[in-house]
A and B are shown apart, each in its own frame.
Chain A
Amino acid sequence: MNYSKIKVQKNISRPDIVFDLVAIPGTSRVLLASSDFNIHDLDISQQKAESKTLSGHASYVTTLALGKDVLASGSYDGKIILWNISKNEKIKSLDAHQKWIRKITLSPDGKILASVADDMVLKLWSFPEGKLIREMKGEHTPLTPHHFQSMLYACTFNSDGSLVASADKTGHVVVWETKSGKKVASVEAPIMYTWDPSARRHSIGGPRSLAFSPDSKYLAVGGTGKIGNIDHLEANARIEVFEWQKQEKSREFIIDKHKGLVEFLEFHPDGNILLGAGGAGEGFICFVDLKENKVAHQEKAQMNVHGVFTQNKMTSILAGGHHRVMEFQFEG
């Protein structure tokens, strides 16, 4: 990829914070998970993009997963709502979790929806029926070692859907077998979690994103580095790559031009490029070249990026974040 050719194609300001987004294939419609408790259906081809609203959640909508005709939305209200996106109608609402839902994601075949929440349970649901298949719990403890509530931030499937991984605040990452619900392996990313025992006596950080390589050999974990002053996300954003079957960290990458969290990770289909995005006060997207073993490109975004949706082998990158939606494309 010729990273110097990346350009901002669209830059749409928003009154809300966009936590996640998905594009409906073959259309210019983009669905946004919003801090105003709604999902917004935005036609980004319009000069002055106006949105239709899907209402039903009672807190921040933080995560979206798109099937063929059905959208799933997860919220801090603990509910997953399934929507018919042709009619923009609610199909059903699931009382999915006891606490904040941090991430939902669909298996590659679109038949299983995974969800993680601060009740520290990973749940699998049949999709689009919305029936609970199984719960995976016990590996992510509800309290941190310092007696405070932990959080289960991220989950992802591997390329054939046989594995699903989850990551909690303390940096404990678990790989589960989808079919049996059994733990297969675990790895640790403790640098991403900072507990300040003396100056401020609370914590910050934690892994926020996960991605399996296309061959499932590697598991990438995105977060932030060890933080000195935990009033801010002042450490550089950070990606660690594990050979999870060996339970070994094989590489780590520091996003040295940008501070904050890596909130999104995705491998390019060829397995050689890893796309990351995130930020703190400011945001970024970055490309890690795994062949060259380096952070190949860091692109400043005009917002802290919370969610990304890629199309056409990453040649089009939609990003949503703090009061803004942006589209990046590679020229030529």
Chain B
Amino acid sequence: MSNRQFCGSMEHFVSRRGFIGSAAGLSIGSFLGQKAVAEEIKKQGKSVIMLWLAGGASQLETWDPKPGAVTGGPFRSIQTSTPGIQISELMPKMAARLKDTCIIRSLNTKNADHGSGAQLMMRGRRDDAALKFPDLGSVIARELGKPDSPVPDYVSFYLQTEGRNFAGSGFLGARYGPMELSKEAMPENVSRLDQISLEDFHDRQALRDLWSKNFSMGRNSGVLASHEQAYLRVNGLMDSKKLFDVTKESQKTRDKYGPTQFAEQVLIARRLAEAGVPFVRVGRAWWDSHGQNFETHQELVPELDHVMATLLDDLAERGMLKNTMVITLSEFGRTPSINASLGRDHFASAWSCSISGCGVVGGSVYGKTDAKGDKVAEGEIGAARLFATIYKALGINPQKNYYVGSRPVPLTDPGTEPVKEVLA
């Protein structure tokens, strides 16, 4: 099923009618296996907030600095709260809070193209010729979302225009596709029309409920049930509009996150996670620093450092960090070599990401690159093992099968092992 059923446009326009149509039209086979385990995981109310550093953040200016190496650039490294682990001086706040974060420094994902690299790092694998795989958000929505939840399962903020449209629910269909917010942080088309009063709106709902009950009487139809569920979700979606309203937060909290667009979206992501949204991605473009890499990272990394540290503090204060995973990920990293324009180019052979909170060993580093950052020296992993590790940390079996027709499709490629050292 194409996720276009959910979308009114190429930019994943949020449409109630499209939402209803897609939510009622699921046609996947029996992916309700392991129901008891799945239900237990859902009860735990786990969420993922992904900070998607679109365009490719530099590992050397974030998680894997090489000060003094010819490739190291001008920034120093600083000691973190974990003895022996150093990160870039551009991240002093995260350095002081590494106890909840695991850094993975040994990604070799072999794809340094924006489009296919982003698809790979959002799905954990390449699409088959005949099968489009769901991205991480869709799988999490499927695995952690609750059928009766009044809030969306998967929200994606991506307000910049560069590097969009690499997410997608693949064979899971539009029911698990992202609510894509690409124009503003508030969903469009979910408000009650001005010309319909609240009283009239409630009357219409009651009338629809009555007709629906009467129509369903004596009929035992999955399609009908799905249609009913879709309407309930739309009502929930309309009610959840306030979650996207950052002004509902205290000024003190807003000040803590800061005034930037990224900061506000991450604060909304926390609000959504708190309300039970299992997966929120906040896209922060654009890190593609072919020229002036150090100036670009001087702008973007302190913002990331501040916002990420504030988010982790906020989650911890609310008792949410144990069940919320925060991921920083890009489509790739950047070259150790510095080009003539003082830039760094695309590089997928030895780069870094981070996982904080739920299910991981905090204050740790997995993997190692060589002295110049050219190659992975220890613990090389690709996208598949990273995803298997994320699933496992969330309590999801990475080898769980979905079924597309009669074809079993495991969440990660057969034989893919999670990285045990990362898992708590």
Which residues of B184-223 are within 8 A (CB) of A? Answer: none
Which B residues are CB-close (under 8 A) to A283?
Answer: 340
Chain B 294-324 residues near chain A, CB threshold 8 A: 295-296, 298-300, 302-303
The answer to whether A58 and B76 touch across the interface, beta carbons within 8 angstroms, is yes
Q: Does A95 contact B (CB under 8 A)?
A: no
Kindly state whether residue B122 has any CB partner on chain A within 8 Å: no
Residues of chain B within 8 A of A322, CB atoms compared: 340
CA distance A177 to B161 in the complex (A): 45
What is the bound-complex CA distance between A304 and B340, given in angstroms?
6
Binary CB contact string for chain A from 7 to 50 against chain B (1 if under 8 A, 0 otherwise): 00000000111000000000000000001110000000000000
Pairwise interchain contact B74-A100, C-beta atoms closer than 8 A: yes
Is the CB–CB distance between B74 and A280 below 8 Å?
no
Q: Which residues of A lie under 8 Å from residue B259 when comparing CB positions?
A: 147
Stretch binding the partner chain, chosen from B5-13, B284-292, B369-377, B393-401: B284-292
Q: If the complex has contacts A59-B74, A147-B260, A280-B291, are A202 and B339 also in contact, measured as CB distance less than 8 A?
A: no
Nearest-CB residue, chain B, relative to A144: B299
A264 at the interface (CB under 8 A from B): no
A209 shortest CB reach to chain B, Å: 16
Total interface residues on A, using CB and 8 Å?
40
Total B residues in contact with A, Cβ cutoff 8 Å = 35
Residue numbers in B under 8 Å from A304 (CB-CB): 340-342
For the complex, what is the distance from the CA of A198 to the CA of B184, rounded to whole Å? 11
Closest to A323 in B: B340
Closest partner residue, chain B, to A203 (CB atom): B299
Complex interface residues of chain A between 75 and 116 (CB less than 8 A to chain B): 76-77, 100
B296 close to A280 (CB less than 8 A)? no
| A204-B295 contact in complex given A233-B341, A281-B340, A303-B340, C-beta closer than 8 Å | yes
Across the two chains, which residue of chain A brings its CB closest to B160? A201
Is the Cβ of A231 less than 8 Å from the Cβ of B290?
yes
Q: Quick one: given A100-B74, A304-B340, are A148 and B299 in contact (CB under 8 Å)?
A: yes
Q: 1/0 per position for A303-325, CB-CB distance to B under 8 A? A: 11000000000000000001100
User: Could you show 7 A-B contacts with beta carbons less than 8 Å apart?
Assistant: A59-B76, A148-B299, A149-B299, A149-B302, A151-B298, A202-B296, A283-B340
**Interface contacts beyond A202-B299, A304-B340: sample of 4 additional A-B pairs, CB < 8 Å, sorted by A:** A35-B70, A151-B295, A204-B291, A303-B340
The 6 A-B residue pairs with the shortest CB-CB distance, nearest first, are A200-B286, A60-B74, A322-B340, A233-B291, A232-B291, A76-B74
